[in-house]
A and B are shown apart, each in its own frame.
Chain A
């Protein structure tokens, strides 16, 4: 069994061993850092993870592809829709399935709305951790409105499980467009308010400017992606690298900074929110009526409504859902790595399929898992109070880190 005695390390002169987390208000989620400090200066830091290990990869081997979507909700639980979409895109690439146009537009819209929700929480929490409580109230109000929209669209606020292989669960509700446009307008003003409050705030700048600098070489060597990479001058965004969904038709920029400190990461997220708002405005114009599920009924579930109404769809639904080797989704015997841009970086799924309805192996390349290791190195030599400024700018989500 676990015993504390094994962890007590040798005490050297004038240093104190300090443990932060796994349950600590500053350690978002269940992160734990063991540090050796001399005064306020951190000499050594080591992260300990795994407190939220759920075994998604093992569970996935015993679930069908559509059942696995409910597990992806629990990866990065601040933006479950991005995970749902990322996994659906991965399976569709494996099958060579192209969902209909309306489905792709809806997925793009929701992915960007979800990115807004994720970023708004992160920027709010960063300033809150540094003592500015107002910003999280502003951003929480916006996130709450977005969650109301997600509830109207998917039926749930957090565990959305919205996508299916080859389509989505439901069509958009009535009044979706007007609600989203109203949110975008207030979101824009909130982003402006945040810029006005923090870009010239001396206290905020002192805490974030120059703290936790990551160089471009470290970004590449550690495999850091997403806003963290773009804050260090690596312009890598999968929406541009290899556009999926309808991103190739949309006009948007990839904001990059070269400083690589906490402030740059904060600025990148705010700029990305602007870009997301732009994308949503463009995608709303592309929203046209049409089918939401792929018509390839050997691989995609039929519409739920037609399952109840016509014989054919009901048979296909039955063949897809029932367990057993003769039922379910039949995949080619191969393996494929496919990735999409989640709010925190590259969300990849490496699927090894064996031809049955369950995947042989699902590797989840969580962005947090690759983004987090450098944290210990950054802490070494910095002040103890920099811990919150650095960690909050990383936006590490334990669900995705431990999986």
Chain B
């Protein structure tokens, strides 16, 4: 039975701090987990470490989502973030990794070769935020139609104001153009 072990969370935090050193941007304590913020380039090494380290064993993938901090009241290192939640069946602790992705180059290394569940969640983040996951085997839209234009969960995408569907510009998908539309 997987039960939350409160005391283990501090040793996890200490271990991650030791592993990342200077690369750790912030460490925040939440209700039952620690959230570590890193730059996009360090995210995959950290998550690999969390999964493959013999003492940690964060093998259970829980969730991954994107976020857009454009004009957020608190200054953030970069505009976008990819937030991954994992759980360790061995220690009974959750952990969250927030990787900041820049607006100019919204790219981050894929986790789909580490966790298979990340395949669809990364496609979703690509679909809704336009964050490109480098090395993803099948990066195409998942919720929206393949010929959809724009990334609707970005903060600069209006909730309404494009008029009726019939007045949208007609767009023809070109077969074989891949994820870059």
On A, residues with C-beta under 8 Å from B are: 1-3, 5-6, 49-50, 53, 55, 57-59, 61-62, 93, 218, 220-225, 234-237, 240-242, 254, 333-339, 346, 348, 350, 352, 354-355, 360-361, 363, 365, 369-370, 372-374, 402-403
Check A2 against B147 for contact (C-beta < 8 Å).
yes
For the complex, is B133 an interface residue (Cβ under 8 Å from A)?
no
Check A57 against B120 for contact (C-beta < 8 Å).
no
Check B67 against A373 for contact (C-beta < 8 Å).
no
Check A363 against B65 for contact (C-beta < 8 Å).
yes
Between-chain CB contacts (< 8 Å), 12 pairs: A2-B147, A50-B141, A59-B159, A221-B115, A234-B89, A235-B1, A240-B2, A240-B3, A241-B92, A337-B85, A339-B62, A363-B83
Check B73 against A333 for contact (C-beta < 8 Å).
yes
Set of chain A residues within 8 Å of B159, measured between Cβ atoms: 58-59, 61-62
Check B67 against A242 for contact (C-beta < 8 Å).
no
Set of chain B residues within 8 Å of A348, measured between Cβ atoms: 62-63, 85
Set of chain A residues within 8 Å of B145, measured between Cβ atoms: 2, 50
What is the CA–CA distance of A383 and B46 in the complex, to the nearest angstrom?
Answer: 41
What is the CA–CA distance of A363 and B63 in the complex, to the nearest angstrom?
Answer: 10
CB of B162 to closest CB in A, whole Å = 13
For the complex, is B116 an interface residue (Cβ under 8 Å from A)?
yes
Within 8 A of A (CB), among B103-121: 115-117, 119-121
What is the CA–CA distance of A219 and B176 in the complex, to the nearest angstrom?
Answer: 33
Quick one: which of A221, A235, A242, A403 contacts B117, CB cutoff 8 A? A221
CB of A240 to closest CB in B, whole Å = 6
What is the CA–CA distance of A355 and B67 in the complex, to the nearest angstrom?
Answer: 16
Set of chain A residues within 8 Å of B143, measured between Cβ atoms: 49-50, 53, 402-403
CB of B143 to closest CB in A, whole Å = 4
Within 8 A of A (CB), among B1-58: 1-4, 28, 30-33, 35
CB of A377 to closest CB in B, whole Å = 8
Most chain B beta-carbon neighbours within 10 Å: one of A235, A254, A361: A361
Check A221 against B152 for contact (C-beta < 8 Å).
no
For the complex, is B137 an interface residue (Cβ under 8 Å from A)?
no
What is the CA–CA distance of A93 and B170 in the complex, to the nearest angstrom?
Answer: 46
Check B170 against A50 for contact (C-beta < 8 Å).
no
What is the CA–CA distance of A218 and B59 in the complex, to the nearest angstrom?
Answer: 10
Set of chain A residues within 8 Å of B170, measured between Cβ atoms: 1
Check B153 against A57 for contact (C-beta < 8 Å).
yes
Check A337 against B96 for contact (C-beta < 8 Å).
yes
What is the CA–CA distance of A337 and B34 in the complex, to the nearest angstrom?
Answer: 11
Check B30 against A336 for contact (C-beta < 8 Å).
yes
What is the CA–CA distance of A178 and B2 in the complex, to the nearest angstrom?
Answer: 35
Quick one: which of A2, A5, A333, A373 contacts B116, CB cutoff 8 A? A373
Set of chain A residues within 8 Å of B117, measured between Cβ atoms: 221-224, 370, 373
CB of B50 to closest CB in A, whole Å = 13
For the complex, is B134 an interface residue (Cβ under 8 Å from A)?
no
Check B31 against A50 for contact (C-beta < 8 Å).
no
What is the CA–CA distance of A346 and B141 in the complex, to the nearest angstrom?
Answer: 24
Set of chain A residues within 8 Å of B83, measured between Cβ atoms: 337, 350, 363
Within 8 A of A (CB), among B68-104: 68, 72-74, 83, 85, 87, 89, 92, 94, 96
Quick one: which of A6, A240, A361, A374 contacts B67, CB cutoff 8 A? A361
What is the CA–CA distance of A61 and B87 in the complex, to the nearest angstrom?
Answer: 28
Complex: chain B residue closest to A8, CB-CB: B175
Check A350 against B63 for contact (C-beta < 8 Å).
yes
What is the CA–CA distance of A403 and B3 in the complex, to the nearest angstrom?
Answer: 29
Check B142 against A365 for contact (C-beta < 8 Å).
no
Quick one: which of B59, B152, B171 contacts A1, CB cutoff 8 A? B171
For the complex, is B128 an interface residue (Cβ under 8 Å from A)?
yes
CB of B147 to closest CB in A, whole Å = 7
Set of chain B residues within 8 Å of A354, measured between Cβ atoms: 72-73
Check B72 against A373 for contact (C-beta < 8 Å).
no
Complex: chain B residue closest to A370, CB-CB: B117
Complex: chain A residue closest to B170, CB-CB: A1
Set of chain B residues within 8 Å of A352, measured between Cβ atoms: 67
What is the CA–CA distance of A363 and B59 in the complex, to the nearest angstrom?
Answer: 22
Set of chain B residues within 8 Å of A5, measured between Cβ atoms: 175
Check A221 against B59 for contact (C-beta < 8 Å).
yes
Check B152 against A223 for contact (C-beta < 8 Å).
no
| Contact A50-B128, Cβ < 8 Å, known A336-B30, A373-B117 | no
CB of B155 to closest CB in A, whole Å = 8
CB of A86 to closest CB in B, whole Å = 14
For the complex, is B172 an interface residue (Cβ under 8 Å from A)?
yes
What is the CA–CA distance of A62 and B28 in the complex, to the nearest angstrom?
Answer: 27
Set of chain A residues within 8 Å of B67, measured between Cβ atoms: 335, 352, 361, 363
Quick one: which of A57, A242, A254, A334 contacts B32, CB cutoff 8 A? A242
Set of chain B residues within 8 Å of A221, measured between Cβ atoms: 59, 61, 115-117
List 9 additional contacts besides A222-B61, A235-B1; criterion CB under 8 Å: A2-B145, A58-B153, A62-B159, A223-B63, A234-B89, A236-B2, A254-B1, A348-B62, A370-B120
